[in-house]
């Protein structure tokens, strides 16, 4: 006699989550990839103009910036493609938890700019807006998703033969 287990898959996610995770965030991350790879001097200048190398930037720095751009592109494509490929809530939760950890790490990377970088809105430039409030917002959306906010309509349990 076959046994059955109950799994929750095929969840219909709220539009706000789908819009943010499948469209807005991949595009925003791809923009970061573009600047890191194609405009590394501008990226470095906006990150910290006092320590940005003069043009042309050193070859090693240019390579590292291209690698950063490649990682941003990998994040953007992974989120857009992986999350579109499944309706399994376990996959979404695992993937977004990893991105939440990356958000914390991303915020930690700018600590050398001093504590005011985290709250001095009037001193922020274009890259700071992407590095601080955008990451705060993305992390908050991930925390809301992982906490089940707006997910009251959970998919009914389905029986799967094992």
CB 130 within 8 A of CB 72: no
* pLDDT of 128 over the 60 cut: yes
Q: Which residues of 55-90 are buried (b: 16+ CB within 10 A; e: fewer)?
A: eebeeeebeebeebbeebbebbeebbeebeeeeebe
Two tokens, residue 101: 């950890």
Query: What is the domain count for the chain?
Result: 1
Mean pLDDT in residue range 92-112 = 97
Residues 19-77: pLDDT tens digits? 999 999 999 999 999 999 999 999 999 999 999 998 899 999 999 999 999 999 999 99
* pLDDT of 2 over the 80 cut: no
Mean pLDDT in residue range 112-137 = 96
Mean model confidence pLDDT for the chain? 90
For residue 12, what are the domain limits?
4-161
Establish how many alpha carbons lie within 13 A of residue 47's alpha carbon, considering only the half-sphere containing its beta carbon.
Answer: 19
Residue 54's pLDDT is 85
């Amino acid at each position: 006699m076959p046994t059955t287990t109950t799994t929750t898959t095929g969840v219909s996610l709220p539009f706000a989550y789908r819009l943010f995770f499948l469209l807005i965030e991949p595009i925003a991350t791809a923009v970061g990839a573009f600047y890191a790879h194609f405009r590394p001097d501008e990226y470095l200048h906006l990150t910290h103009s006092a320590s940005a190398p003069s043009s042309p930037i050193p070859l090693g720095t240019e390579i590292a910036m291209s690698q950063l751009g490649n990682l941003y592109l990998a994040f953007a494509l992974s989120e857009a493609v992986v999350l579109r490929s499944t309706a399994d809530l376990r996959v979404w939760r695992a993937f977004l938890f990893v991105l939440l950890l990356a958000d914390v790490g991303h915020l930690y990377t700018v600590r050398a700019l001093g504590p005011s970088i985290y709250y001095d809105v009037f001193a922020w430039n274009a890259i700071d807006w992407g590095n601080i409030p955008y990451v705060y917002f993305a992390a908050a959306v991930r925390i809301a998703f992982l906490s089940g906010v707006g997910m009251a309509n959970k998919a009914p349990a389905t029986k799967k033969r094992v």
